[in-house]
Amino acid sequence: MAGGGDEDHIPAASGSPDASLTQDDSFTATSHAGLTYPWGEAAPAPGETIRIADGISWARIPMPGSLGHINSWLLDDADSEGREGVAVVDTGICLTACSDAWKALYAGALKGKRITRVFGTHLHPDHIGLAGWIAKKQGVKLWMTRGEMLTARAIVADSSEVAPDEVLAQSRAAGWDEAAIEQQRASGWNMFQRMIFALPRSYVRIADGQRLAFGKHVWRVVTGSGHSPEHACLWNEREGVLVSGDQVLPRISSNVSVNITEPDADPLGEWLASIDKLIATVPADVVTCPAHGEPFKGLHVRLMALRDEHRMRLYKVAEAVAETPMRAVDTFPLLFNRPIAGHNQNLATGEALAHLKRLEIEGRIRKEDRGGVWWYHGVA
C-alpha cells in the first residue's frame, strides 16, 4: 500500500492506464436533461474554493484520466475544544497531482484553518486515496460507514500479485476469449492498493440516519448501495444541501457491478432500491453536490432518469435473450454506448453481470452453465 513509510511519499503515477477507472464511471448512456446548475460550468481554481451555502465550500482536486477531477466538499466544523475548522469530504487518489492540490489549498483558501476530520463517502480510491495521508498529517480521524471501511481493508489485505483463479473463472464464464483472459492474468492484480495511502488502523463509524454535528450545522447520514457496499451521503436539511458522492452524479451514471468479492450479489437491485430511498427521503429542491461534475438542482429528476435508464436496459436485454441465448459479453452493445475493449472490459463485464443477475432475480431470464461459460435464456 502506498505511504507505508515516509508520510510525504506520494507516487507520481499509479501504474494504471487510467487512474480514474476506480469504478465511478459507468459505460452506459445517460441524460441530465431537466437539471439546473446554479454556478454554471464554474469550478474552483487550484488553491481556491467556492462557497455553496452556509456551512459548505467546494474544492476541486485534479486527477489524471477520463474523469479529470474529484470534488472535495469542505464542511464548516469545530473541534472538541470549540476551535473552528473544516471537515474534508473525499480526497482524491494517492498521487502527487492530488496531494499537490491539497498543498495549494493549505497555502490558499485553507491557510490558517484547522482540518477537524476526514470523511470518505465510500471506498473507491479517488474518494479515500489520500484520506490516510490527510488524517496522519493533520492528526485527525477518518469517518466512514462500517461496510465501506471493512471492505476497503479486505481489498487492501489481498496480497495477490496476479489475477486470482476466481477472477479468471468469472471472466471465462462471462464469455471472454482465452487471449483476453491471458491478458488479464498478465496485467497484475489489486491496483486498489497502489492508489490508496495507508489507512489509519482506527476510524469513526457513521451509520444511516445518524445526525452529525458540524459546528452550528447538522448533517444527516443517508446511505445507499449498489455502486459500493454502504455509501454515505450527507444531507443538511436546514440549508437544503446534499453531498451525494457517487450516489447521484449529474452527467454520468455510476458503475454498478457484480464483483468477485461478492459474486452472487444483486448490486443493481440495491442501486434501484437506493434511488427509491433517496426520492422518498431527500426533498427534490436541494442543491446536490456530487463527486464529479458541478453542483445542481433537480435531484428527483436525475434519480428518476437513472432509474428509468437502467429499467430500459433491463428491458432490452430481456427482449434480446428471449430471442437467442446470450453470454454477458454478448449484451455489451445493448448496455453500453462506447466500444468495450482492453481495460474497459473488466468493468463492463461487472455491469453486464449486474443487469443479468437482476433479470434472473425478477424471473425474466435463467442461467445455464455450459462447461464454465454462462448462457442466459428467456423464460417462457
Instruction: Measure the CA–CA gap between 215 and 13, rounded to whole angstroms.
Output: 37
Q: CA distances (Å), 320 to each of 235, 308, 323, 369, 379, in order?
A: 41, 18, 5, 19, 12
pLDDT in tens, 54-73: 999 999 999 988 889 999 99
- Per residue in 139-163, pLDDT (tens digit) is 999 999 999 999 999 998 887 878 8
Average pLDDT on 213-231 reads: 97
Distance CA 71, CA 61 (A): 6
Query: Domain for residue 172, yes or no?
Result: yes
Cell matching residue 294 = 458541478
Select from 75, 86, 142 the least CA-distant residue to 110. Answer: 86
Specify if 325 maps to a domain. Answer: yes
Are 245 and 233 spatial neighbours (Cβ–Cβ below 8 Å)?
A: yes
Q: Which three cell numbers mark 365? A: 431470464
- Domain residues for the domain of 352 are 50-378
* CA 172 – CA 327 distance, rounded (Å): 10
Q: What local confidence, expressed as pLDDT, does residue 19 receive?
A: 42
pLDDT for position 265: 97
> Rounded CA gap, 186 and 180, in Å?
10
> Does any domain span residue 244?
yes
User: What span, in angstroms and rounded, lies between the C-alpha atoms of 62 and 100?
Assistant: 10
d(CA 79, CA 115): 9
**pLDDT at 120 > cutoff 50:** yes
Q: What is the CATH number of the domain that holds 254?
A: 3.60.15.10
Torsion region of 90: left, alpha or beta (phi above 0 gives left; psi -120 to 50 gives alpha): left
Instruction: Name which of 66, 62, 67 is nearest 99 in CA terms.
Output: 62
Here the cell at position 337 is: 454506448
The 3-state secondary structure of 160-174 reads CCCCCHHHHHHHHHH
Residue 277 inside a domain? The answer is yes
pLDDT number for residue 82: 78
Q: What is the pTM of this model?
A: 0.92
Q: 81: exposed, middle or buried (C-beta count within 10 Å: 0-12, 13-18, 19+)?
A: exposed
Residue 167 CA: distances (Å) to CA of 45, 190, 343, 346: 41, 12, 14, 10
3-state secondary structure of 63: coil
Phi, psi of 295 (to 5 degrees): -60, 140
Q: Which residues of 129-139 are buried (b: 16+ CB within 10 A; e: fewer)?
A: bbbbbbbbebe
Judged against a pLDDT cut of 90, whether residue 25 lies above it is answered with no
Determine contact, residues 198/1, Cβ cutoff 8 Å.
yes
The string of DSSP codes covering 167-205 is HHHHHHHHT--HHHHHHHHHT-S-HHHHTSBPPPS--EE
Q: What is the pLDDT of residue 188?
A: 79
pLDDT at 31 over 60: no
List, for residues 245-302, the tens digit of each pLDDT value.
999 999 999 999 999 989 999 999 999 999 999 999 999 999 999 999 999 999 999 9
Give the pLDDT band of residue 345 (cuts 50, 70, 90). Answer: very high
**Phi/psi at 39 (5° precision):** -105, 15
- As a whole number, the mean pLDDT across the chain is 91
Neighbours of 222 (CB within 10 A): 22
Q: Could you read off the pLDDT of 297-334 as tens digits, one per residue?
A: 999 999 999 999 999 999 999 999 999 999 999 999 99
Number of separate domains in the chain: 1
Mean pLDDT of 194-211: 96
Q: Of the candidates 44, 52, 45, which has an alpha carbon nearest to the alpha carbon of residue 75?
A: 52
Proportion of the chain above pLDDT 90, given as a percent: 79
Q: Beta-carbon neighbour count of residue 311 at 10 Å?
A: 12
Average pLDDT score over residue span 85-109: 97
CA-based radius of gyration for the chain: 21
Residue 160 pLDDT: 80
Across 4-17, average pLDDT: 58
Q: What is the mean pLDDT of residues 182-187?
A: 88
